[in-house]
Amino acid sequence: MKQLEKILGASIILMMILSIIFLIPYSSAVITLLSVLLSGLYFYCSFLLLNNIRLRHAFKKTSYSELGFWRLLGTIFTGFVLSLVVIYSLFKFQRWPYGQQGLTISLGLLLFVIIVVLIKLKSTNNIFYKNLLVRLFIIGFFGVLFFYTSSVQLLELQYRNYPNYIEAEKRLMLDPTNDSLQKKANKERQKIDLNN
Q: Which tens digit of pLDDT belongs to each residue from 30-79?
A: 999 999 999 999 999 998 888 877 776 666 766 666 777 888 899 999 99
Measure Cα distances from 92 to 45, 76, 122, 167 in Å: 24, 24, 34, 19
Contacts of 40 (CB under 8 A, 6+ apart): 83
pTM over 0.75: yes
Instruction: Determine if residue 24 is left, alpha or beta; phi over 0 gives left, psi from -120 to 50 gives alpha, anything else beta.
Output: beta
- Spatial separation of the C-alpha atoms in residues 153 and 139, rounded to whole Å: 21
